Amino acid sequence: MRTRKTPLAVILGCAAFLPLGADAQDWTRREYPLAPPNASGNFVAPYFDGFYQNPDGTYTMSFGFLNRNDEDLIEIPLGANNFIEPAEYDGVQPTTFPVVRYTGFGGPRERGVFGVVVPADFEGDVWWTVRTNGYETKVPGRLESPGPLIKGAYELSTGTMAAGSMRPAIQFREDGPRVFGVEGIWYPDTLTTTVGEPVEVRFWTFDRGERELGWVNMTLWKYQGPVGAEISFESLTEAPAGAPPVRGAARRHGPGPVALRESVLIPTDGPDANQGRFTATFDTPGQYVIRIRIDNFRAPDSSPGNQCCWSNGYVVVSVNPQ
């Protein structure tokens, strides 16, 4: 398996911006992805992070996004304003695009939100198109970069990081499949609840680093769902013994409400070893997808800004009226 790392310049350039005509364009939004953001009224930019080859010869294309606002959450339902081509890959992308801010190289981008798996002999591009209030942005996922040089420029490393970190694994059944990677694993059943009634989710997760095994964290996201609807998350995970001190508002140990992007530490020993548990409560009926991101960002060689070390889990929930 090839393990070439993606050059920084390629990662920064993996978004295509195709503005509409001048009469439909609001130039205060700035058509360049890395221009300073506005407080509100800006657009969502889809990003292609790169690809990696799977053991069976297929390829996973990794996609993320950039919400170019300082404050506004943007939601764009699946359909004419949020779609993937070819159509066989459509439907796995998010419809909810929160504002994120990471330290270091992470910045305002959310990387590796989902993966599209294409066959070993795939040719062509996988296009993700997003329209925000009429402003269109789109990006191609591809296995070969254009031009005569560096055909594999978009290829991501699947090896260990400098200190041995790798993507952690996640599974939804104690004896079920254990998966790692941005394409992730989907909960085997659709969960059902009613508005205001919490539904509980349990999963198992494991560090895979080629080093002394370390801490694993979960963050919880509204991934798909009705526009304007909110999900209230509450962790049921016990605080690990000997856990490092909490620094900053984006981390927590033990049970309690979980804010957007708040990192919850998973215990590595004891009766709840390697188990994550939380409830989700919904204020609006409809069909939802929850994204569980599992990471080891507390390791010195792992962060949201590089193309390692997290994996995704997805849970479909059908919410009925009261």
The 10s digit of each residue's pLDDT in 140-153 is: 999 987 766 666 67
Given a contact cutoff of 8 angstroms between Cβ atoms, the answer to whether 137 and 18 are in contact is yes
SS3 31: coil
User: Mean pLDDT across the chain, nearest whole number?
Assistant: 85
Q: Is residue 54 part of a domain?
A: yes
The 10s digit of each residue's pLDDT in 159-205 is: 888 888 889 999 999 899 999 999 999 999 999 999 999 999 999 99
In this structure, the answer to whether residues 20 and 120 fall within a common structural domain is yes
In this structure, the answer to whether residues 22 and 129 fall within a common structural domain is yes
Using only C-alpha atoms, the chain has a radius of gyration, in whole angstroms, of 19
Given a contact cutoff of 8 angstroms between Cβ atoms, the answer to whether 68 and 32 are in contact is no
In this structure, the answer to whether residues 188 and 93 fall within a common structural domain is no
Q: For residue 305, is pLDDT > 90?
A: no
In this structure, the answer to whether residues 89 and 185 fall within a common structural domain is no
The 10s digit of each residue's pLDDT in 45-62 is: 999 999 999 999 999 999
Which amino acid is present at 286?
G
Whether the CA torsion 277, 265, 300, 292 is positive or negative: it is positive
Residues in the chain: 322
Q: Is residue 221 part of a domain?
A: yes
Mean pLDDT of 91-116: 90
In this structure, the answer to whether residues 294 and 189 fall within a common structural domain is yes
What pLDDT score was predicted for residue 249?
Answer: 54
SS3 23: helix
pTM over 0.85: yes
Q: Per the structure, how many domains does the chain have?
A: 2
Mean pLDDT of 12-39: 51
In this structure, the answer to whether residues 121 and 185 fall within a common structural domain is no
Q: Is residue 163 part of a domain?
A: no
Say if strands 199-206 and 231-235 run parallel, antiparallel, or are unpaired. Answer: unpaired
Q: Is residue 161 part of a domain?
A: no
**Residue 281 in tokens:** 């409560």
The 10s digit of each residue's pLDDT in 211-235 is: 888 789 999 999 999 999 999 999 9
In this structure, the answer to whether residues 124 and 174 fall within a common structural domain is no
Place of tokens 């509409």: 20
Q: Is residue 308 part of a domain?
A: yes
Q: For residue 90, is pLDDT > 80?
A: yes
Q: How far is CA 291 from CA 25, 127, 205, 224, 228, in A?
A: 33, 22, 14, 9, 17
Lowest-confidence segment of 108-112, 132-136, 239-243 by average pLDDT: 239-243
Domain limits for position 70: 8-141
Cβ neighbours of residue 95 under 8 Å, at least 6 residues apart? 75, 76, 77, 78, 82, 223, 224, 225, 227
**CATH code at 189?**
2.60.40.2410
In this structure, the answer to whether residues 134 and 179 fall within a common structural domain is no
Q: How far is CA 246 from CA 243, 251, 253, in A?
A: 9, 6, 7
**Of residues 9, 15, 10, 68, the one with CA closest to residue 39:** 68
**Residue 25 in tokens:** 């364009």
SS3 137: strand
Q: For residue 4, is pLDDT > 80?
A: no
What pLDDT score was predicted for residue 151?
Answer: 65
In this structure, the answer to whether residues 86 and 218 fall within a common structural domain is no
In this structure, the answer to whether residues 131 and 269 fall within a common structural domain is no
Distance between CA 218 and CA 205 in Å, rounded? 9
Q: Which residues pair with residue 219 across a beta bridge?
A: 293
